[in-house]
Structure 1
Amino acid sequence: MIPKIIHYCWFSNDPLPKEAQRCIDSWKKYLPDYQIRKWTLKDFDVESVAFTKEALEQRKWAYLTDYVRHYALYNYGGLYMDSDVLVLKNLNSLMTGDFVSAVEYHPGKEQIPVIKQRIDKNGKRTTDEIRVPGIGVQAAILAAIPHHELNRDCMDFYHNCSLQEVLAKKYTAPIVISHIAEKLGFVYLNKKQNLDKNVVLFPAKVFANYNQVAKDSYAVHCCAGSWVKKNFKQRIVDCLRMNKLVGKLFSFLFVKKPDDLY
């Protein structure tokens, strides 16, 4: 059973932005029986892993988080969420496996030909290049029991890589998780997948990106980057033209209280 703990990382010395705090408020609203654990530089021995030490030295907070999310889940179990994840509904009904996440699917027009070159009709990767752009396992929302081998193997990937290599090859967290999950049966298709080791992946709309929110979404990853990027609010404003529900999310993040969302 997946423990009712929410893990999130904040390694910067800067205060948590109000938009991130709004997201955390949504966790408290829809997951009131979960303990929330914040991981900072005081909670993890960054010097213990060469990759995380490099990430700290170069102030690559996202890559430091890429390792610590798996460390937290492997050692304690629970639910990991990026601080820019807004929860829309209680997630307990989704916790049906020993490792739970969703497919992330957001290919740009220029990426679709590349995807077709790298996977077959069944969604299996056909090249030595592990990057399949625009589709993979969602990394912003992960849930697992303690000591699940998918988290262990993801940590081992970073144990055997330098930060320089990961940066050069653009191995983002979804790419790494997807690569490891292939051994359990993951395919690059946007559908529900039940993999070996009781891994359950839902379609992308369940844990949606900010421009894919639907009525049956349970959570939304509000942006694909740091909260402090200047274009964050503009990206949300752009969404208002596409989706009424995202308009409600915008109001929630910047205007309303948590109880006003629904």
Structure 2
Amino acid sequence: MLTVNNSNAMAIPKIIHYCWFGSNPLPKEVEKYIESWRKTCPDYEIKEWNETNFDVHCCQYVEEAYIAKKWAFVSDYARFMALYKEGGIYFDTDIETLKSFDDLLNDGAFFGFGWETLTLPVFGASKGLNCLKLILDYYNTRSFIKPDGEYDLSPIENSALKILQEQYGLVLNGKYQRLKENIVIYPREYFCSTKWNTGQIYKNSKLYVIHYADASWLSEEEKKSLRMRRRVISFLGNRVGSFIDNILFLIRKDGLAGLMMHAHCFFMRNISPAFMKTLSALYVNKNKIVFENFAGRGYGDNPKYIAEELISRNLKYDLVWIVNKDASYKFPKEIRTVHKGTYRELYELATSGYWIDNSRKVASIIKNPKQKYIQTWHGFYPLKKIEKDAIDTLPSTYIQSAIHDGKMTDLMMSGCKARTEIYRSSFWYDGEIKEWGTPRNDIFFKDYDFKQEICKFFKLDIKSKLLLYAPTFRDNRSVSAYNLNFENVIEALNHKFGGDWKVLIRLHPVVREKSDFINYSNQIIDASTYDDIQELFAASDLLISDYSDCMFEFSLTKKPVLLYASDLDEYSKGRSFYYDIHTLPYSLAENNEELLNQIEKFDYDVYLIKLNAFFNQIGVLEKGIASKSVVDYILNNR
């Protein structure tokens, strides 16, 4: 087991580490650079890290980067691991050394500033340094593949900078600093020689290395493009050259149509605040309410139930819904729609008396004090930590939007005391919170037979028993954890509870397109595209989920909930929970055999006792009046 070195007298050993993944031969340029290391540091061991001595499956981030053949991002992790395990100095393979590093070896670690932030093609550290462990831990909680399927190409400097700023007090001033654990930060003149955007090299007497910025991780075509960009910027100057280079890059990447799209987005981000401010100063219609659901997804969630309350009372409001152009949801005739990302959207928002949304609005959307913003959020109570409580997992752009959204919000609502506490502590919000309940959960208190409606929609016998399987998504979009043996589960349910059981499978929208791994039949039904999951909750007789917050909402019906989490150990490494999942009132299984056993021994009376105790613990407030209360609030604050 690796131990952390907390000594104040930490020496950096004479070992030079470099990484070379992908099994390709070293280029001649790299061999030339390595020869300079031997010349300036003749008594140093030189060690290459590659697939033969580094575990490319050591964590999710590394494994995903390796499978994607993004060798540079594998190296981002490997360099920290190498120095943590053995100590020494790390060099990128496009580094030429100019002098010995002997006079830098007496500290716990050394890093250097670049032109704007840290530069990490060169750094050194003693073995077992706690700082490196914290950086590795940071990577161990991340995925290389983001929820939208794109790669996380964040520069390596972000990881070290986060730890050094937050836990070691680093100040980004470009000056010499000595931090705890004898970590020394040197000025730019020591290790930073090259302007990345031009490739121009600047030498000085303090410089230890020349970094040629060869971008060895790029393809030959990408390197050719980089060289062209550098020539353009060098010839025309940084500002003009970068502007023209960006335009040419967008045309090459997306064509003229793509360039126009980017120009439109630029306007929406940069001009829309002034546009909205001017409009709202001129006119606000207090009888207009603008709704949005999950950034334009369509008609649903809490905003839907508030809109339906308004419609049912026949109130004379102009109801507007912001929706993506490709959304296929049907809307009541009383609601008119406007496409997201258009000037019309900005106009409707700027001139409406009320906004109702369940997710964050971006920083370019601004509100006049004359307007009211009701942030309903989504969900009843979370298992996974969210917002400020999970800040390490959030992109900086999202944090910016969340802080901005919290400042604009006039009212939030909560369905339980514990949720209210999370709003207060984690949502960048200090305004009014009404404990009216959750609008979308009002459905559970209605005298309406949703079972009949759902069976009719899916062409099922009304006497059928319905199991709803609704797991959450994984950050890497993997579906391997959804490995239920549905046929055996149906057989077990038939035996335990009687009746003719059917399975409705509701996958998260993020992985919905991967549902072909399931063998659907007249007993196993695809319900992923059904518009309203709350109606599925109301109609179903039993829920199986994993880490999804829907477990809490479904159990408001007092119907059975079982948890199937075949990847619990792996999943919990990357996500923090508010509760230990083993202490929840729901039976937990980690494989199919355990699940069948949990079904067989399920005791409803015991379940109900545990459930009521848990609801008392979190302070459940749901009474079926949330939508009504919101509409009353609007009427009383016109």
Q: Please state which band the TM-score falls in when normalised by the shorter chain.
A: 0.7 to 0.9
- Work out the CA distance in 2 between the residues paired with 1:79 and 1:144: 7
Q: Which residue of 2 aligns with 1:89?
A: 99
Q: 2:29 aligns with which of 7, 15, 19?
A: 19
Whether the aligned pair in 1 keeps the contact of 2:14 and 2:43 (CA below 8 Å) is yes
Whether the aligned pair in 2 keeps the contact of 1:205 and 1:212 (CA below 8 Å) is no
1:102 Cα offset (Å): 0.6
Q: Which residue of 1 aligns with 2:174?
A: 190
Gaps (5+ residues) in structure 1?
106-134, 242-262
Q: Does the alignment pair 1:162 with 2:143?
A: yes
Q: 2:211 aligns with which of 209, 221, 224?
A: 221
The TM-score, its normalising length taken from structure 2, stands at 0.31
Q: Does the alignment pair 1:199 with 2:180?
A: no
Q: 2:50 aligns with which of 40, 53, 60?
A: 40
Whether the aligned pair in 2 keeps the contact of 1:50 and 1:162 (CA below 8 Å) is yes
Q: Which residue of 2 aligns with 1:28?
A: 38
- Work out the CA distance in 1 between the residues paired with 2:21 and 2:185: 28
- Work out the CA distance in 2 between the residues paired with 1:232 and 1:222: 13
Q: Which has the larger radius of gyration?
A: 2
Whether the aligned pair in 2 keeps the contact of 1:89 and 1:218 (CA below 8 Å) is yes
Q: 1:230 aligns with which of 224, 230, 236?
A: 224
Q: Which residue of 2 aligns with 1:2?
A: 12
Distance 1:20 1:186, change over 3 A: same
Q: Does the alignment pair 1:49 with 2:30?
A: no
Q: 1:176 aligns with which of 155, 159, 168?
A: 159
Number of residue equivalences: 212
- Work out the CA distance in 1 between the residues paired with 2:188 and 2:61: 30
Q: Which amino acid aligns with 1:216?
A: K
Percent identity reads 32
Whether the aligned pair in 2 keeps the contact of 1:223 and 1:232 (CA below 8 Å) is no
Classify the secondary structure of the residue corresponding to 2:96: strand
Q: Does the alignment pair 1:102 with 2:112?
A: yes
1:185 Cα offset (Å): 1.4
1:63 Cα offset (Å): 0.6
Q: 2:192 aligns with which of 203, 208, 211?
A: 208
Classify the secondary structure of the residue corresponding to 2:57: helix
1:216 Cα offset (Å): 2.0
- Work out the CA distance in 2 between the residues paired with 1:234 and 1:94: 37
1:147-189 Cα shifts (integer Å, max 9, x gaps): 1011111111110011024976642111211111112111111
Q: Which amino acid aligns with 1:146?
A: K
Whether the aligned pair in 1 keeps the contact of 2:113 and 2:192 (CA below 8 Å) is no
- Work out the CA distance in 1 between the residues paired with 2:106 and 2:114: 19
Q: Which amino acid aligns with 2:42?
A: P
Gaps (5+ residues) in structure 2?
1-10, 195-200, 236-638
1:66-88 Cα shifts (integer Å, max 9, x gaps): 00000000000011111111100
- Work out the CA distance in 1 between the residues paired with 2:230 and 2:210: 12
Q: Which amino acid aligns with 1:173?
A: I
1:49 Cα offset (Å): 1.2
1:95 Cα offset (Å): 2.4
- Work out the CA distance in 1 between the residues paired with 2:43 and 2:226: 30
Q: Which amino acid aligns with 1:180?
A: I
- Work out the CA distance in 2 between the residues paired with 1:233 and 1:23: 20
Whether the aligned pair in 2 keeps the contact of 1:136 and 1:175 (CA below 8 Å) is no
The TM-score, its normalising length taken from structure 1, stands at 0.74
